[in-house]
Amino acid sequence: MLLGTAIALIAFYVPVDADQGLSQKIFYFHVPIALTAYCCFGWGAWKALRHLWTRQEGADLESYVAIHLGVIFGAMTLVTGSIWARASWGVWWAWSSHQLVLFLVLFLFYCAYFMLRFSVEPGPRRANLSAVYAIFGVVLIPVSFLAIRLADDFIHPTVFTSNGPQMSGSMFFTFCVAWAALLATASALYRIELAGKRIDARLRELRELIA
């Protein structure tokens, strides 16, 4: 329902940007998707920390599912950003933009998480190594987010500055609804995938008990 509301607001309510035209409407999904990916990675790192610190049962699995979802949202960020870049700048990718390159580094870093995870036998060693890797990765999030604020990046626009959001009230409202919709979607997908993984683990245990 939130997603439907967000799409309706983007299509019918929010005005067309005077500078970029219609292609600016990609912003209402592209930026919330990127922020949702950051949230997923952050949540994954938090669960990884809980696993290492308190040995909370299931925290490793929760961390894995959050990072999995973060990578999917990260891929969506890169593709929608690339389409927007093509529409606005005339190129699919700009290596000179620190924001783009750092987000790609972050994305590839978390892609490598799966290579690490699945190269180790299931058990405490895999959980510990994955947790440490997930915590290291979270350091890249503020670096990626602050990249264009710290560097003179004239290609990628900076919408959120220290003076607040650089957009009209209707645009900011639509942006907030879209972000809430994507956070709700990510949360629902996280819960469903996690439930599936937990049931799978229990079934495996049950199969071993019966055998």
Partner 1 sequence: MTNAEKYVAAAYLFVFLTLLVYVVIIASKLARLESALIDLVERVRARG
Q: Checking DSSP bridges between strand 160-161 and strand 164-165, what pairing results, if any? A: antiparallel
C-alpha 189: how far from chain center: 13
Give me the numbers of helices (H) and strands (E) for the chain, helices first please. Answer: 7, 2
Q: Does 76 bind partner 1 (CB under 8 A)?
A: yes
| Residues contacting partner 1: total by CB under 8 A | 29
188 φ, ψ (degrees, to nearest 5) = -65, -45
Q: Which is nearer to partner 1, 18 or 22 (CB)?
A: 22
Written in H, E and C, the secondary structure of 147-182 is HHHHCCCCCCCCCEECCEECCCHHHHHHHHHHHHHH
Q: Does 21 bind partner 1 (CB under 8 A)?
A: yes
Q: Does 33 bind partner 1 (CB under 8 A)?
A: yes
- Please give the residues from 178 up to 197 whose contact with partner 1 meets the rule CB under 8 A: 185, 189, 192-193, 196
Q: Which is nearer to partner 1, 14 or 138 (CB)?
A: 14
CA distance 91 to 155: 11
Least Å from the CB of residue 170 to partner 1: 18
Instruction: Select from 5, 58, 80, 94 the one that contacts partner 1 (CB under 8 A).
Output: 80
Judge whether 143 and 102 are in contact, CB under 8 Å. Answer: yes
Judge whether 177 and 184 are in contact, CB under 8 Å. Answer: no
Of 23-31, 98-106, 108-116, 156-164: span binding partner 1 (CB under 8 A): 23-31
- Provide the 8-state DSSP code for 56: -
- Please give the residues from 126 up to 155 whose contact with partner 1 meets the rule CB under 8 A: none
Judge whether 164 and 8 are in contact, CB under 8 Å. Answer: no
Half-sphere exposure of residue 28: CA atoms within 13 angstroms, side-chain side: 28
Q: Which is nearer to partner 1, 22 or 150 (CB)?
A: 22
Q: Does 83 bind partner 1 (CB under 8 A)?
A: yes
Of 36-44, 77-85, 113-121, 133-141: span binding partner 1 (CB under 8 A): 77-85
CA distance 193 to 68: 10
Least Å from the CB of residue 99 to partner 1: 18
Q: Which is nearer to partner 1, 3 or 155 (CB)?
A: 3
Residues at the site binding partner 1, with contacts judged by CB under 8 A? 7, 21-23, 25-26, 29-30, 33, 72, 75-76, 79-80, 83-84, 86-87, 185, 189, 192-193, 196, 199-200, 203, 206-207, 210
